[in-house]
A and B are shown apart, each in its own frame.
Chain A
């Protein structure tokens, strides 16, 4: 305990000395966090300062091994670090798929050379990653993907396209599922391949969404090339890697959305007070909305406790089951319902698109609500997750 107290004191003073003032108290930073990468060009130069200092200290990937530039922190130390950062309301020094998706996958399935090549670049924010999974013809049926990779000497030649490649227009590398054996059973002919996007055969086109501009892109491969050393795990064994990575993705989505998240700074009750007539007794004056707010908070609380229970069980040595599907379904649907509720609380003030007569936060809410409609689609639809629960947890037949 004393050691942890020391760690807390050291962390507090380090953060206080090193985190730029302009990024504290939740202000001054980019909306989507510090993303790093070759194209990283933040409006606020302090973001780069914070990234470099954080990376040097190992705080961009606090729990990764120190040999790759991680912080080597224990779970307890990491919890303290996050608490200290919350106290200062600092953004994390780095966010992105490198840290949350391909990094953990490389730690699990990468060979020593792959880890040595890629992990330090992730930790230092030098390379930004995007994900190439879905294709126009392979959404929920992901294993039906068609993007081809054919061996040519030491290299693979890649042809096809990937869709919903988040931030592909700003990414440097893409981790991709490609078909390497068109004759095998569909799950068995897939390879997990890392591709450098800085080459003539790769083209990226952003996709506007119903919520306006978006980080989503379509990415095209025309005779793009990747060296064979960039195959993760083994040729034609990519499905195994893909499933592991989807587990990281669902956990990430649940963590991000589930527990009162969704970017809301005001409590639901305070939002209601802002938009509804005052009441004499301090209650939310619309009884129906008040009840809906309470239900939303109760559901969020129960969900948060369930995430905690799952973590406590893991800590006690119980094997985690296919419950990540449950978190994905409930976490995303809760986030969607919360946004629906926030829109109804704001009433007609939620109808703005841009320009005069609406607060920035109201305009953002409208866009955020529209964006949440994708939560139950991306990362495996709610329907696919329910199928997984029915089959793997409840034992119902195909």
Chain B
């Protein structure tokens, strides 16, 4: 499990970097934000990304996937993170896709993974509630037995890409445990309201009022959901890694050109040392993300601990890189015109998804037996 990119991974990285530079600069994200785009991302570009094989990277060939792993997926997500690309990777490929791929419900998995890999479906996972915080089990949504199926009632918040999803995987309490159900977008009793978040990513309130699903809608249980969220966390960390590197690159460019007191401000030691510290933290994140992705691919016994290392480090480092970034830029860093603010907002949103550093410290300690 070497922490170095293989030739294939290096090729994927280059392809993704070129794609992002040509088709998805941050200005594209800014345009979507400015016009309050109803979809919030580009369906055409999403299709192109799927055609490049990215949506199917971790999925089997018989559903149209590439049968590769998180090591490869992380490389793509890192490049997309650099450009804040808002396409539905996290919701569709990482959360819903992983849930389906790990599910014993083969019929559902085959149907939806084929569409996911082809870029023909957007899916969402509704696991979060107003007071559940990061605890996947602390939910109030109920699944009540109804004949052979279930009736779902409850309210989910900040469901990523929920407003455009073709289907939503909903977690609910059933028989004392948690189960995950697939609910088609048009189901009766389902109300979806778009939410506006600081990072301008797509999110929605999902209200369920006695939504009926069959027994064949069950995707998995609470253990499956926890596993899925761990995997999605590594994907998010890869995105964060790209974002923090871009934030540092933007900062360095500014430090090398902005003049005050007749010299470029990057010559000031006070700023150099802050930049050096950001660099070091990013280097640690790189190693942590690579190790966590490879652990998932290898099914390593310490995977959960490595996921916590990655998320704890990336949460703090992305916030550091962007907080420092705004400070490096000075007054213009506070203006909407400069991109660094986008990264600071995204850093916060990412930090507070799937557990912040404090959450993962607690989890590390618990997993370590203290």
* A interface residues, Cβ below 8 angstroms from B: 269, 272-273, 282-284, 290-291, 293-295, 297-299, 301-303, 305-306, 308-309, 312-313, 315-316, 318, 323, 326, 329-330, 383, 385-387, 389-391, 393-398
Contact = CB atoms under 8 A, between A and B. Distances in A.
Interface string B269-286: 101110111011001111
Contacts of B280: 326, 329-330, 389
A326 B370 contact: no
A308 B3 contact: yes
A309 B369 contact: no
30 contacts: A269-B369, A283-B370, A284-B365, A291-B358, A293-B365, A294-B364, A294-B365, A295-B312, A295-B357, A297-B368, A298-B308, A298-B360, A302-B284, A305-B3, A306-B287, A309-B3, A309-B286, A309-B290, A312-B2, A315-B4, A330-B280, A386-B277, A387-B276, A391-B272, A394-B252, A394-B275, A396-B255, A396-B275, A397-B266, A398-B267
B370 A269 contact: yes
A284 B4 contact: no
For A315, A318, A386, A398, the residue with the greatest tally of chain B CB atoms inside 10 Å of its CB is: A386
B173 interface: no
B279 A326 contact: yes
Contact of B313 (A282, A290, A293, A298): A298
A269 B365 CA distance: 9
B112 to A, nearest CB: 35
A282 B369 contact: yes
A298 B364 CA distance: 8
B83 interface: no
Contact of B276 (A284, A313, A390, A397): A390
Contact of A305 (B4, B291, B362): B291
B264 interface: yes
The 9 A-B pairs with the shortest beta carbon distances in the complex, nearest first, are: A390-B272, A269-B370, A305-B287, A294-B361, A309-B3, A386-B276, A389-B276, A302-B284, A306-B287
A279 B266 CA distance: 51
Contacts of A315: 2, 4
Contacts of B291: 305
Contacts of A305: 3, 284, 287-288, 290-291, 309
A220 B218 CA distance: 81
A397 B267 contact: yes
Contacts of A295: 312, 357, 361
Contacts of B197: none
Nearest to B255: A396
Interface string B9-20: 000000000000
B369 A298 contact: no
Nearest to B306: A301
Interface of B: 2-4, 252, 255-256, 264, 266-267, 269, 271-273, 275-277, 279-280, 283-288, 290-291, 305-306, 308-309, 312-313, 357-358, 360-362, 364-366, 368-370
A220 to B, nearest CB: 34
B4 A302 contact: no
Nearest to A383: B273
Nearest to B252: A394
A390 B275 contact: yes
Given A298-B308, A302-B309, A396-B272, A291 B365 contact: yes
A309 B4 contact: yes
A212 B362 CA distance: 38
Contacts of B271: 396
A387 to B, nearest CB: 6
Nearest to A291: B361
B309 to A, nearest CB: 5
Contacts of A308: 3, 287
Nearest to A398: B267
Given A283-B366, A312-B2, 12 more contacts: A282-B370, A290-B365, A293-B365, A295-B312, A298-B308, A298-B313, A298-B360, A301-B309, A302-B309, A302-B313, A309-B4, A387-B276
Contacts of B306: 301
Nearest to A301: B309
Contacts of B273: 383, 386-387, 390
Contacts of B362: 290-291, 294
Contacts of A397: 256, 264, 266-267
Contacts of B285: 302
A306 B361 CA distance: 19
A384 B234 CA distance: 34
**Residue of B271, B272, B358 with most chain A CB atoms under a 10 A cut-off:** B272
Nearest to B3: A309
Nearest to A269: B370
A294 B369 CA distance: 11
Contacts of B287: 302, 305-306, 308-309
Contacts of A391: 272
Nearest to A388: B276
B267 A306 contact: no
Contacts of B2: 312, 315-316
A313 B4 contact: yes
A396 B312 contact: no
A142 to B, nearest CB: 18
Contacts of B290: 305, 309
B4 A312 contact: yes
A206 B149 CA distance: 82
B288 A302 contact: yes
Contacts of A386: 272-273, 276-277
A394 B306 CA distance: 28
Nearest to A308: B3
Nearest to B267: A397
Contacts of A398: 267
A395 B252 contact: yes
A267 B121 CA distance: 49
A323 B273 CA distance: 15
Most buried by A among B271, B313, B358, B361: B361
B280 to A, nearest CB: 5
A281 to B, nearest CB: 10
